[in-house]
Structure 1
Amino acid sequence: MDQTLNPYTPGAGKPPPALVGREAELDAGRVVVARTARGTSATAPLFYGLRGVGKTVLLKALHAQAETAGWLTVEIEGKQEASEQQHTRRRLARGLVTAARATAGRRGTLSDAWKRALGTISSFSVAAGATGVELSLGVDPMRGRGDTGDPETDLEELVRDMVPALKESGIGLGVFVDEIQDLDPATLSALISVQHRAGQNGWPFHLYGAGLPNVPARLAEVRSYSERFHFVQIGALSDTDARAAFADPALQVGVEYEAAALDRLVQVSGGYPYFVQVFGDQAWRLAPGPQVITREDADVAVAEATAVLDDSLFHSRWNRATPAQKALMRAMAEDSGHSQISDLVARMGKRKPSDLSVTRDGLIKKGLIYAPDRGLLQFTVPHMDDYIRRQHET
C-alpha cells in the first residue's frame, strides 16, 4: 500500500479519520453549546469507560465545539504523581489566562463586565503562582478576587465574577479534564462544587471530563451530590460501527477489504477504537496492495499489531505493578471478563479477602484494575488478560 495514504492514526488521544458510532455524544455536546448561547441551562457530559474506547478523543471533539462557539476554555489532565498534582491549580490558572487573553483580544473594546472578569482571572492566576503569563490588557490584578488561597472559594469567586461577561457574550466557560479520576482532591472538589453551584444558579460554567470506569464512584466519594451529574459510559463500537471504522477510511483512498479480512480484524479488535486504529494501521503497512486488503494480509497484521501492543500498551502497564500486584493480575488473567475476589483468594492461597486489600487498592490507584461491582475486579485495559496469558504464564 502507498504509506503516504495510510488513513489510520494509532496513538493515545489521536483523533481517528471519523468518530464512527459517537454521533449521540457529539449531538449532546452541540446541545450544550446551543443552550448556553440561548442563556438556558445545560449539563456537560462526564465520560467514563475502559482505556482505548476513545474517551479522550471525544473530550477533544467537544472541546473543539466549544472553541468554535467562542467559549473561554481550559484543558487540564489529572496526574497520579503527587509532585504533578501540586501544580494542577497553576495549570488551570495558566490556561484561564491564555484563554481570556485570546477571548478579550477578539472583543476589542472591553465592557465593564469583561474588565471585572479579567481582573479576577488575573488575581486568581497570581495567587495560584501562574508565572510567565500575563493578561497584558491593562487589567489590575489587585482589583480582582479569587485570591484567598482556598481552591473552592477562589474558583467560585472566579466563576461568579465571570458570569456577567459570559452571559453578555452568549458564551460559556468550559473546563475539560482528562483522566479526571486522578485530579488532586482539592481541585476536583472545587470543580465539582462550582459545577453544582452553577447548575443551581444557571451560570454558564461547564465541567467536562473523561476517565476510567471508577469516575462516578470517585466523584461521589469527593462530593456526594456529584451523583446527579451527567455521567456517560463509553463502550466498544458495535459490530457495524467497527466495520465502518476499518473500511470507510480505506475506501476513501480507493482501498477495499475482503469480507474475511474485515471479519478477522473486527473480531480481534473487539470494537475498541484504539485497537481498530492499531490493527488497521498494521494491515495497511503490511498489505502489498495496491487496492485490496486480503484475509492473508489481515492475519499477518494481527500478529504484528499484537506484538506492537505487547511491547507498548501492555508492557508499560505491566511494569508499573509491584511483584505482589503482578501476582494478583496473573490470577485475574485466568478469568474471562471480571474476577470474583473470593475466587482470587482461593486461587492465590490466601485465607480471606482482606489479605488482598492492599494489593487490590494499589492496582486501582494505578488505574490498572477497577471494581465493577462489590466483590468483583476487572482490568481497565481491554485484552490485558490475553497479554498476561501470552507473556507471563502462571
Structure 2
Amino acid sequence: MDPVRNPFAPGAGSKPPELAGRDIIIEDALIALKRSILGRHARPQMLLGLRGTGKTVLLNTIENLAEDEGFLTSTIEAPEDKLLTELLYPRLQQVLRKLSFVEAAKTKAYEATKALRSFASVFKIQMGDFSVSVDPEPGVADSGNLEYDLSDLFVAVGKAAQAAGKGWCLLVDEVQYLKADELAALIVAMHQISQKQLPVLFFGAGLPQLAGLSGDAKSYAERLFSYPKVGPLNATDARRAISGPIEDEGEEITSTALEKIIQTTEGYPYFLQEWGFQAWNAAATSPVDMVDVDAATGAALKRLDDGFFQVRFDRLTPKEREYVIAMSKLGKGPYRSSDVAEQLDEPVNKLGPRRAQIIAKGMIYSPQYGDIDFTVPMFDDYLRRTWEQAE
C-alpha cells in the first residue's frame, strides 16, 4: 500500500494517529487544569511508566490542553548532566516576558522578573542571550537554598500569572534524572503553590521508580501528587490503536493479523506503532494479512535492534552489560537480585554498586525490595536474541 499514506508514527514522543486507552489520564489532567486556573486546589501529576508506553506523548497532549485553557507552558526534559536551575531559567524568562505585556500583570511580572534575576545570580546561571535587564530583588529567591528560592520564584510567577488572568504549567519529562535536592525543591515549590492556590500546575513523567524517589525526597509527596500509571494497552484499546488508523485510510486488516500484532507487541504503544507502520508498508494491497505481519516483524525487530534497543545498550559499561545479559538469561522478569548474582557467580553485596549505577542510567528499576526488572519492554528478548549468542 502507498507508504505516503501510512498513518502510523513510530518515534520518540510522536503522537500516534489514535491515542487509545488514555482517556482517564487526559480527563483528569483537564479537570486539574480547569480547577487550577480558577484558583482551586488541583493535584500535580507524575506519569509513571516504562519506556515506550507513551508518557511523552501524554505530556505533549496535556501541554496542548493547558494552552487551550489559558496557561503559558514550559516544557523541559531533565538530562543526566545539566542542572534544573539552568533548564528553568530561560523558560521562566520567556513566560515572564509574555506576562509583562498584559497591562494588569505588569507590576507582578516585574516583581517576578526581579526574583528571577536574584535566582540567576545566587545560582550562578549562565544567562547568555536570556539575560534579565533588571536589578535583583534583595531577600527574594536569593538565599542559596534551592528549596526556599525555587518556592519564592514559583510563587512570584504564579502571582504574575494570576494578575494576568492566566496560569503557568510546567511539564518535565524524565523526572527521575533530577538530582535529589532538585526533586525535593520542586516538590516544596508545588506544595507552596498548592497552599496559596495560585494558578501554577506541574505535570511530570518518568520511570516507575519515580514515585519512590519523590517519597524519599519529601514524605508528603505521595499526598501532594497523583501518580497515574501509563502501561501497555489492554486488548480492546490495542486493537483500536491499530485498526482505527487503517480504517480511517479506507483500508482493512484481518482479525488474525490484528491479533498477531497485539500478541507480539504485548500492547506497548511504541511497538504497536512500529508493527503497524511496518505491516502497512509490507502489504501490497488491502487487507493487511498474516503474511504482511510476519514480514513486518522482521523489519520491526531489525529497526528496534539497530536503534531503540542498541542505543540503550551502548550506554552501559562492559561490566554493566554483563549484568543485564545475566538478567536476560533468567528468562522474563522481574528478577531476584540474588539470582542475578548467582548467575554471575559473585556475592550480592559486591554487585550492589553496579546494580545501582544501571538503575541510575534508567535501564533497570526495582518494582519491589530485592527485585529488579528492565525499564525497556522486550529488552530481555533483544539481549537473548543479539548478545547471548555473541558471548
Which TM class, normalised by the smaller chain length?
A: over 0.9
Q: CA deviation at 1:150?
A: 3.4
> Could you tell me how far apart the structure 2 residues matched to 1:123 and 1:277 are?
46
Is 1:142 aligned to 2:136, yes or no? yes
Is 1:357 aligned to 2:352, yes or no? yes
TM-score (normalised: structure 2): 0.92
Which residue is 2:298 aligned to? 303
Q: CA deviation at 1:389?
A: 0.9
TM-score (normalised: structure 1): 0.91
The answer to whether the 8 A contact 2:18-2:240 is kept is no
Q: Deviations over 1:343-383 (max 9, x none)?
A: 22222222x32122122111101111111111111000000
> Could you tell me how far apart the structure 2 residues matched to 1:162 and 1:365 are?
32
The answer to whether the 8 A contact 1:78-1:178 is kept is yes
What SS class does the counterpart of residue 136 from structure 2 fall into? helix
Is 1:130 aligned to 2:124, yes or no? no
Number of equivalenced pairs:
384
Which residue is 1:270 aligned to? 266
What SS class does the counterpart of residue 243 from structure 1 fall into? helix
Is 1:29 aligned to 2:22, yes or no? no
Q: CA deviation at 1:146?
A: 2.6
- After superposition, the CA RMSD in angstroms is 2.0
> Could you tell me how far apart the structure 2 residues matched to 1:390 and 1:365 are?
25
> Could you tell me how far apart the structure 2 residues matched to 1:345 and 1:50 are?
24
For 1:221-370, list aligned pairs within 5 A: 221-228=216-223, 229-289=225-285, 291-333=286-328, 334-350=330-346, 352-370=347-365
Residues 337, 237 of structure 1: alpha-carbon distance in 2 compared, 3 angstrom cutoff: same
Which residue is 2:205 aligned to? 210
Q: Deviations over 1:67-99 (max 9, x none)?
A: 22221321111112xxx323x312201011112
What SS class does the counterpart of residue 284 from structure 2 fall into? coil
What SS class does the counterpart of residue 171 from structure 2 fall into? strand
Which residue is 2:156 aligned to? 161
Q: CA deviation at 1:260?
A: 1.1
The answer to whether the 8 A contact 2:119-2:141 is kept is yes
> Could you tell me how far apart the structure 2 residues matched to 1:110 and 1:49 are?
38
The answer to whether the 8 A contact 2:38-2:199 is kept is no
What SS class does the counterpart of residue 75 from structure 1 fall into? strand
Q: Which amino acid aligns with 1:164?
A: K
Percent identity of paired positions between Structure 1 and Structure 2: 34
The answer to whether the 8 A contact 1:97-1:122 is kept is no
What SS class does the counterpart of residue 140 from structure 1 fall into? coil
Q: Which amino acid aligns with 1:63?
A: E
Is 1:93 aligned to 2:94, yes or no? no
Which runs of no fewer than 5 residues in structure 2 stay unpaired?
A: none
Which runs of no fewer than 5 residues in structure 1 stay unpaired?
A: none
Q: CA deviation at 1:264?
A: 0.9
Q: CA deviation at 1:122?
A: 4.7
Q: Deviations over 1:197-226 (max 9, x none)?
A: 222332332221100111011122222222
What SS class does the counterpart of residue 76 from structure 1 fall into? strand
Q: CA deviation at 1:108?
A: 5.0
What SS class does the counterpart of residue 210 from structure 1 fall into? strand
> Could you tell me how far apart the structure 2 residues matched to 1:110 and 1:206 are?
19
Which residue is 2:368 aligned to? 373
Q: Deviations over 1:145-164 (max 9, x none)?
A: 43444322222211222333
Is 1:383 aligned to 2:378, yes or no? yes
What SS class does the counterpart of residue 230 from structure 1 fall into? coil
Which residue is 2:14 aligned to? 14
Residues 225, 295 of structure 1: alpha-carbon distance in 2 compared, 3 angstrom cutoff: same
> Could you tell me how far apart the structure 2 residues matched to 1:122 and 1:249 are?
49
> Could you tell me how far apart the structure 1 residues matched to 2:228 and 2:201 are?
15
> Could you tell me how far apart the structure 1 residues matched to 2:134 and 2:316 are?
49
> Could you tell me how far apart the structure 2 residues matched to 1:359 and 1:322 are?
10
Q: CA deviation at 1:143?
A: 4.7
Q: Deviations over 1:177-196 (max 9, x none)?
A: 10001013333221111112
The answer to whether the 8 A contact 1:8-1:249 is kept is yes
Which residue is 2:72 aligned to? 72
> Could you tell me how far apart the structure 1 residues matched to 2:254 and 2:88 are?
49
Deviates more, 1:45-54 or 1:182-191: 182-191
After TM superposition, which residue ranges in structure 1, 4 or more long, deviate above 6 angstroms? Answer: none
What SS class does the counterpart of residue 330 from structure 1 fall into? helix
